[in-house]
Amino acid sequence: MIAGDGLDSISVFEVRAYVAQMQANYLMEANKHEDAMGSLLDSKLIYEELRRLKDPDSDEGIVYNEKIDQVGTFIRKTAMDLGMIETSDDLKPADAE
């Protein structure tokens, strides 16, 4: 298990999100795009939950937004690789318009 006595609950979730993102990166390299998509969605969901716990204008809130955007980029790429969308414009975040 990743969590130990020295980690608070927020840190445990941050580690889980990071591990899911790194696992997705490996799976994308191994051309296992469906599995990668699942890991990316897990990572994004965790980061979104963590962001809700913080002031959006705080340093931590800004970092979580950047992580969510980064994972979103990989989700769009993976969706293109799976043939779910034709271009990255087909799956833009709602606030990008």
CATH code: domain of residue 43: 1.25.40.10
What is the value of pTM for the model shown? Answer: 0.79
Q: The domain containing residue 49 runs over which residues?
A: 9-90
- State how many domains the chain has: 1
Residues 29-76 have pLDDT tens digits of 999 999 999 999 999 999 999 999 999 899 999 999 999 999 999 999
HEC sequence for 44-86: HHHHHHHHHCCCCCCHHHHHHHHHHHHHHHHHHHHHHHCCCCC
For residues 37, 87, 56 and 17, what is the CA-based torsion angle, rounded to 10 degrees? 20
Q: Is residue 4 part of a domain?
A: no
pLDDT band at 97 (very low <50, low <70, confident <90, very high): very low
Q: Is residue 97 part of a domain?
A: no
